[in-house]
Copies of this chain bind each other. A is one copy, B any other.
Amino acid sequence: MQDISKPLRSKSYSVPCELCSIGSICIPMALNNTLESVLNRKRSFAKNEILVTEGDEFQRFYIIHSGALKTYVIINGTEQINGFYLPGDIIGLDSITTHKYNNTIKALTTTLACELKYDELMALVTKSTQVRDTIFNLMSQNILNYQKMILAYSQKNAEEKLAAFICWLYTQYAKRGHTSLSIKLSMCRADIANYLGLTIETVSRILTRTQELGILSVRGKYICIKDLSALFQLAAEKI
């Protein structure tokens, strides 16, 4: 595994296995040599490649090693983005209950992802309390995150939503060890607007306004956070 991940870590945002969302179970599994059966080798996906389509039979989770994915559904013929996923994130927890994928998953950039078979993970949950606790912890964290997001996105106005979004990006990378204040957006303005329930014009306007306030520096897909605490304050969150 290291032979694949090592050269990539310098290239772009990626997570070493220890910082992955399932890291704490993956590493022990590697030591026990049961890894190969449960966590398949990393697979590479090209930009705009579709990993799975809404309605496909659910078999495996995807855990992002590097790159970025988005998930969306088609409502009334238009794409509605459900979420963005960054290195260390796991996709598919919502599919346990439906036995099929509820969203289409698409690569925003070239992406490396680990595949984790559901059945085999479940078998491990029963065998190892460590795996059990890790998975429950992961799902609980997911639920907590969604709660916070609902709170955020139902209460906040456009400016606060966008600030919260950039805070979220920063926090996601920071959680996995990338504390840089310079962020390269892997999604276009239209995707951000779609996800936040805004228009691209509003997103654009707010980005320039926030830049004028000296909080951000925006150039195309590159965003530099000039005043992190002001950004978090704008998002109405505590750091």
Contacts and interface: CB of A to CB of B under 8 A. Distances in A.
Interface stretch (A137-145, A170-178, A180-188): A137-145
A83 interface: yes
A83 B76 CA distance: 28
A161 B133 CA distance: 36
Interface residues of A, number: 43
Given A80-B151, A102-B144, 13 more contacts: A82-B147, A93-B143, A94-B144, A97-B140, A103-B147, A122-B129, A122-B132, A122-B133, A139-B139, A146-B146, A150-B153, A153-B154, A154-B197
Given A75-B236, A153-B154, A94 B143 contact: yes
Nearest to A123: B129
A143 B142 contact: yes
B140 A96 contact: yes
Interface in A144-176: 144, 146-147, 149-151, 153-156, 161
A155 B195 CA distance: 8
Q: In terms of DSSP, what is the predominant structure of the interface of chain A?
A: helix
A44 interface: no
B96 A136 contact: yes
Contacts of A96: 136-137, 139-140
A150 B129 CA distance: 32
A35 B146 CA distance: 31
Contacts of A144: 94, 97-98, 102
A31 to B, nearest CB: 21
A175 to B, nearest CB: 13
A95 interface: yes
A132 B126 contact: yes
Contacts of A93: 139-140, 143
